[in-house]
Structures are given as C-alpha cells and as structure tokens.
Structure 1
Amino acid sequence: MITVQTTINAPIDKVWEFWNEPAHIKNWAFASPDWHAPHAENDLRAGGKFSTTMAAKDGSMSFDFWGEYTVVKQNEAIKYVMGDGRKAEITFKETPNGVEITESFDPETQNPEEMQRGGWQAILDNFKKYVESIT
C-alpha cells in the first residue's frame, strides 16, 4: 500500500465533516488549481457508495472517483473499495498538534507509485489548506 499523511490544525468534528460532506468535498478533492470537483455524492455508512467527479477546469479531461464503504467509524476511520477493486483506508487521530490523517491505498498499475503518492498527497494537502482556511 502507498501511504500519505498530514496534520490539520482544526477540531476533529470539523475535519470529519469537511472530509465527508459533498458541499465541502467539491472544494478540495483535486490535486491542482487547474482542476476542480464539480460533483460529489457520499452515503457515509458501511455498504454506502461515494462518487466524486474530478475535472480539468478547461474541460479537456474528467473522471469519476467512486467506490463503496466497508467500514465507517465516526471521527476515527474509513475503509472502502474503489470501483476498480483496490482498497483504501483513512484514519483520523487527534494529537496535540491537530488531527492527523493517514491515508493508505493499493496502487494502480498504470502509473508509477511515486506519481500516485504525489497526486494523493497533493489532494490531502489541498484538503488541509481548505479546512484551515475556513474559520
């Protein structure tokens, strides 16, 4: 598995809400400023499904990131299976410095692992920036 991580300077309830509410997901679920997430759906429960459309702002490319939850423990952990069968897990841990998010996922076979790590880390960094910018 590939692992990315960050620490968010915000309360756990806010981090959990911003991670899971579609209205917030659309504001951070992309890796660079020339992309956006015009659509997000999230049924946050074991057996529930999620889908986020990530798209280039110039309209040249888009894709749906989707899957099904296998474990949801509020403010603690999320596990899911992506549409292509790969697995991922996210943990949320309160620390003296904020909420530590650790995200691990099975790599896909089309792109180098370092490229995948960089993309997922960029999205996680975008999430951190978004959460910390909203008071």
Structure 2
Amino acid sequence: MDKNNSVITIEAIVHAPVEKVWEYWTVPDHITKWNNASDDWHTPHAENDLRAGGKFVTRMEAKDGSFGFDFGGIYDEVRDQEFISYKLEDGRKVEITFIPLENDTKVVEVFDPETTNPIEMQQEGWQSILNNFKKHAEQQ
C-alpha cells in the first residue's frame, strides 16, 4: 500500500483482548450489529469468507429505506488475529492491523480514499464506524 498522504489512517483502542476483537470484527452476526456510521443507518446483512481470495459483502442501508448500498471486496491477505488486507470492488485497498496491548487491542485501519467525497468526510465516516465497533466490542 502506498504510504504517502493519499491514504487515510484511523485507529481506536478497544478494551477487549485481541481474540475477542478479531471475532467481533469478522463474524457476520457481529458485523450486522456495529457496521454503521450513525444511528439512522444499519447493516441488515453481512457475508464474510475470511481467507485470501475470499469475498465479503455488507449491506448498508438507511433505516428509513431511503438509500442503501453493498460494500464489498476480496481479501488479499488474512493473518489470524493480526492483519487483514482487501481490495474494494472499485480497486481501492484497505489494511487493518490488530495490535494486542495486554487486555486491550489497538485497531489501525489504513485505506485509499475515494474521489467523490472530501477526505475529512471519509475519515469521519470510517472513524464513526470504528468507534461503533469499539462500543459493540466493549459491551460484549
């Protein structure tokens, strides 16, 4: 991945051990509970074939039914409880690193921005989803 200014990095420290954080991040029953940037959105469906060459798709929808889209891609690399990288359908790359810190886990996500929306908006949106994940993982 190109590590210059064209990528966006977000992170969070989750107060849960890495094996639990990994499970909550990758199991579809959990993904549907945290994968939204705001309370007026939800993820009614998620599929995840977690392996190199495997595909994933999450259905993201406004709760009022006004808008929705599929978010998906293909995994390039999966290292259990450590690292995930994938390519989105539009070719952008995403890397997620899980760093154990005693009983906590630091989750660092680096991704190529898309060209439609401002960088700040994309960073805020992805960070909101990551914050929602943190909240979900810590409530389990």
TM-score bin, normalised by smaller chain: over 0.9
CA distance in 1, matches of 2:100, 2:27: 20
Cα deviation 1:12-45 (Å, max 9, x = unaligned): 1110000000000000011001110001000000
Among 2, 18, 25, the residue aligned to 2:31: 25
TM-score, normalised to structure 1, is: 0.98
- Indicate the residue corresponding to 1:62 in structure 2: 68
Unaligned runs of 5+ in 2: 1-6
- SS state of the match for residue 106, structure 2? strand
CA distance in 2, matches of 1:97, 1:78: 21
Aligned residues between the structures: 134
- SS state of the match for residue 27, structure 1? helix
Unaligned runs of 5+ in 1: none
TM-score, normalised to structure 2, is: 0.94
Deviating beyond 4 angstroms after TM superposition, the runs of 4 or more aligned structure 1 residues are none
Question: Do the aligned residues in 1 keep the contact of 2:17 with 2:102 (CA within 8 Å)?
Answer: no
Question: Do the aligned residues in 2 keep the contact of 1:7 with 1:97 (CA within 8 Å)?
Answer: no
- Indicate the residue corresponding to 1:50 in structure 2: 56
Shift of 1:97: 6.1
Larger mean Cα displacement after TM superposition, 53-62 or 88-97 = 88-97
- Indicate the residue corresponding to 2:3 in structure 1: none
Cα deviation 1:37-88 (Å, max 9, x = unaligned): 0010000000000000110000000011000000000000000000110000
Compute the RMSD of aligned alpha carbons: 0.7
CA distance in 2, matches of 1:48, 1:114: 30
Identity rate, percent = 57
Shift of 1:91: 0.1
Task: State how 1:1-135 maps to structure 2 within 5 Å.
Answer: 1-96=7-102, 98-134=104-140
